Chain A
Amino acid sequence: MMFDASILLSALLNGLTTGAVYALIALGLTLIYGVLHIINFAHGASLMMALYGVYALKERWGIDPYVALPVMVPAMFVLGYVMQRVVINRASHGKDENILLVTLGLSIVMENLALLFFKSDTRTIDTAYTLTTVAIGPESAQVMVSLPKLVAFAGALVVSALLILILQRTDLGRAIRAVAKEKQGARLMGIDVEHVYAMCFGLGLACLGAAACFLLPAYYVNPQVGNGFVLVAFTVVVLGGMGSFAGALLGGLLIGVVESFGGLFLGESLGQVGIFVIFIGVLLLRPEGLFGAKT
């Protein structure tokens, strides 16, 4: 099937911008997985809560989503910290399978709390720039890219960079890396492992807070909205390498592009299969992902 250059360029840019959002969502997941080794069933529901937060800030107090970043990010951080420290840690007694169930239970509770308070209808926000597009590309193959998505792309780069900085340059980052590598040793060194775990979880959800601010202008929110992103987020985490931020960023972009081209060549429904074929392929052939450490 022959497509002309502008179509291909457009698909590429679409993929990159959509992938940026996947990256933002996966960044938190990869941190949580990389350090706590938890497969967080509640990640999708947490994204949904963040989206409602952004929505409420806009609808109730007229705060623009991008302006809401300094509110959403800390708020989600606190939520994450509390969730891990108070609920997950206490309830699961450290066993993997119990953590699964606890996060599952949390996701059910969160989804239905949202159902109760916001009702089930889909909500969107209207901003001045929702419909703005930016022209990209040479004259012959010019493509109109949606502005919110471009901003999301930039946001993903910034958040990844921040996370990498935090991990490499701060005391917290050092503690996190120590705990991820060797929990018992870290504890012996005097690191409060429970606190570090909770900080990690908090950071992971803070990323979702940022993701929500960038996502809502181009999307919508309802109680089930998180479910649509969970599987893709997992794929990105695995592809990028569990625990690697650069991996999550690049993995997200790559998956976005694969999805985009897959849709173009195989149709939007079947094209989704590309994501999971990659998922399986990576798991079988290179489970540490692009940037993960070989165990």
Chain B
Amino acid sequence: MTTRRHFMSQTAAAASVMSFPLIAGAQAKTVKVGVLHPVTGALAYSGQQCRMGALMAIEDINKAGGIKSLGGAKIEAMLGDAQSSPQAGTAEIEKMNEAGVSAVVGAFASAICLATTQAAAKYNLPHVVDVGVADQIVERGLKNTFRFGPGYKKCAEVAVANLHVLNTAAGKPARSVMIIHEESLFGTGTANLLSKELPGYGYDVKEVIKHANPTRDFNNIALRIKQVNPDIVIPANYYNEYALLVRTMQQQKITPKAIYSVLGGAASSYKFVKEFPEAANGIIDCNHWFNPRDKRSLELKKRVEAQGQFFSYEVFMTYTAMTLLADAIERAKSTDRAAIIDALNKSTFSNHIMPYGTTQFVNGQNMGAQPLMTQVVKGDIKVIVPRDYREVEPIFPLNA
């Protein structure tokens, strides 16, 4: 017994396969794409920013003529709320699958992505991961999962290597390091990697402090920083805690040689820079960032800000994930899931606003993905490393 919905989705699938548009002016149909993010609950802010990025991308793609190889078919978003939990995310995937989406973009948080990619894999539904930095997401051998951006292993490696470059170029003023991370998956994972890599480059990891989510007060941690007096403070946490930590450091007049974040929650956040320019000044971050040399990034930034929103990483990460998908659908010339997966696997997408160069997927991870090093300079966030994307000379150390 098939339900009516099942019957409809089968019919729709059959219809889409048959309607190869060979003649211009053939009836353009739509390509359904699932847009799944935690827009309510604890992660609501990030989820809503991601969704905004996805919808803007769809708007742009459709305005530019949609999927041309499908006769100008427009992308139609099917919105889903993951409610900040893996269970809700999974339930949404089931709904999207049955509604006949050709692919899914989502789901921001690593824990949710783990569940949604797995659920989508059952139906061979292509799932583009927009942020989700946990490396396990792409290490499970799921054929349907593709992550455009870097995972935290890559970010940690790049951060350490670049720290060494900056330090060496400045005459090696910094030796001691203190890591302050949040207690869950991303913070702990990042801190573990950093603690492992840094000594190899000759740095002394004096202390690693793990703090709760949420932390109501950072005075004790600030105190500890004062006591240990490291050259470099490395925070890896979410926006609220990051902001509170840095503000507390400012209040207690703690000024290390550098605040060097790795996936710092507020370190490369326009919102933070706008609200706390003094505290933010000089902070270096190794994080997701757009290609500053691509004019389109700046245009996108302007558009987002014109809507009264901040151009946060969630926006451009999901925006570009959607453009990657659209490109794959374009080359697949079909809305068939297997064809799209195949197209993603073979993707050499390079017409994007991220500093990833030519796309190349190995086991679902884009090998070109990399974070960029940014620094807050004169109230704005500028890229400092690598040289190809450098906008300003790095200020390191902040104060001799």
Judged by a CB distance under 8 angstroms, whether A66 is at the interface is: no
Chain A hits for B250, CB < 8 A: 131
How far, in Å, is B331 (CB) from chain A's closest CB? 36
| Complex Cα gap A179–B398 (Å) | 63
Q: Mark B41-72, 1 if CB is under 8 A from A, else 0.
A: 11011011000000000000000000000000
Supposing A124-B275, A131-B251, A267-B210 touch, asked if A220 and B219 sit within 8 A by C-beta, the answer is no
Judged by a CB distance under 8 angstroms, whether A7 is at the interface is: yes
A228, B216: Cβ atoms closer than 8 Å: yes
How far, in Å, is B348 (CB) from chain A's closest CB? 37
Of B47, B210, B216, which is within 8 A of A269 by CB?
A: B210
Q: Mark B184-228, 1 if CB is under 8 A from A, else 0.
A: 000000000000000000000000011110111101110110010
Would you give 15 A-B contacts (Cβ < 8 Å), ordered by A? A10-B223, A14-B217, A18-B216, A18-B219, A120-B44, A121-B310, A122-B239, A124-B275, A144-B251, A144-B253, A219-B216, A219-B244, A220-B243, A268-B210, A268-B215
Judged by a CB distance under 8 angstroms, whether A291 is at the interface is: no
Of B212, B220, B243, which is within 8 A of A122 by CB?
A: B243
| Complex Cα gap A122–B209 (Å) | 24
Interface residues of B in 237-295 (CB under 8 A from A): 239-240, 243-244, 247, 250-253, 271, 275-276
Judged by a CB distance under 8 angstroms, whether A272 is at the interface is: yes
Of B216, B224, B252, B276, which is within 8 A of A229 by CB?
A: B216
Chain A hits for B209, CB < 8 A: 267-268
Supposing A119-B48, A124-B275 touch, asked if A11 and B223 sit within 8 A by C-beta, the answer is yes
Supposing A14-B219, A220-B244 touch, asked if A228 and B214 sit within 8 A by C-beta, the answer is yes
Chain A hits for B211, CB < 8 A: 268-269
Chain B hits for A122, CB < 8 A: 45, 239-240, 243
Closest to B223 in A: A10
Chain A hits for B275, CB < 8 A: 124, 126
| Complex Cα gap A120–B84 (Å) | 13
A119, B45: Cβ atoms closer than 8 Å: yes
| Size category, A interface | 35 or more
Residue picked from A120, A133, A264, most chain B C-beta under 10 Å? A120
Residue picked from B47, B217, B247, B250, most chain A C-beta under 10 Å? B217
Interface residues of A in 6-42 (CB under 8 A from B): 7, 10-11, 14, 18, 21
A146, B227: Cβ atoms closer than 8 Å: no
| Complex Cα gap A220–B271 (Å) | 14
Judged by a CB distance under 8 angstroms, whether B183 is at the interface is: yes
Judged by a CB distance under 8 angstroms, whether A260 is at the interface is: yes
| Complex Cα gap A220–B240 (Å) | 8
Judged by a CB distance under 8 angstroms, whether B30 is at the interface is: no
A14, B243: Cβ atoms closer than 8 Å: no
Judged by a CB distance under 8 angstroms, whether A112 is at the interface is: yes
Supposing A131-B251, A144-B252, A269-B211 touch, asked if A124 and B243 sit within 8 A by C-beta, the answer is yes
Chain A hits for B220, CB < 8 A: 10-11, 14, 260, 263-264, 268
Interface residues of A in 220-268 (CB under 8 A from B): 220, 222-225, 228-229, 232, 260, 263-264, 267-268
Binding site for B on A (CB under 8 A): 3-4, 7, 10-11, 14, 18, 21, 112, 115, 119-122, 124, 126, 130-131, 133, 144, 146, 218-220, 222-225, 228-229, 232, 260, 263-264, 267-270, 272
Residue picked from B44, B223, B252, B310, most chain A C-beta under 10 Å? B223
Total residue contacts A-B, CB cutoff 8 A: 86
| Complex Cα gap A21–B271 (Å) | 27
B243, A133: Cβ atoms closer than 8 Å: no
Closest to B252 in A: A144
How far, in Å, is A2 (CB) from chain B's closest CB? 11
Chain B hits for A222, CB < 8 A: 45, 240
How far, in Å, is B69 (CB) from chain A's closest CB? 38
Kindly list the 4 A-B residue pairs having the minimum CB-CB distance in the complex, ordered from nearest: A120-B44, A120-B45, A268-B211, A269-B210
Closest to B253 in A: A144
How far, in Å, is A92 (CB) from chain B's closest CB? 26
Of B42, B221, B271, which is within 8 A of A224 by CB?
A: B42
How far, in Å, is A203 (CB) from chain B's closest CB? 24
B223, A121: Cβ atoms closer than 8 Å: no
Chain B hits for A260, CB < 8 A: 220
Having A10-B220, A133-B253, A144-B252, one finds 6 other A-B pairs with CB under 8 Å, namely: A131-B251, A220-B243, A224-B41, A224-B42, A268-B221, A272-B212
| Complex Cα gap A18–B219 (Å) | 10
Closest to B210 in A: A269
Chain A hits for B219, CB < 8 A: 10, 14, 18, 146
How far, in Å, is A287 (CB) from chain B's closest CB? 26
Closest to A18 in B: B217
Judged by a CB distance under 8 angstroms, whether B347 is at the interface is: no
Judged by a CB distance under 8 angstroms, whether B40 is at the interface is: yes
| Complex Cα gap A119–B47 (Å) | 12
B240, A120: Cβ atoms closer than 8 Å: no
| Complex Cα gap A270–B211 (Å) | 8
Chain A hits for B47, CB < 8 A: 120
Chain A hits for B45, CB < 8 A: 119-122, 222
| Complex Cα gap A10–B254 (Å) | 15
Of A124, A228, A269, which is within 8 A of B183 by CB?
A: A269
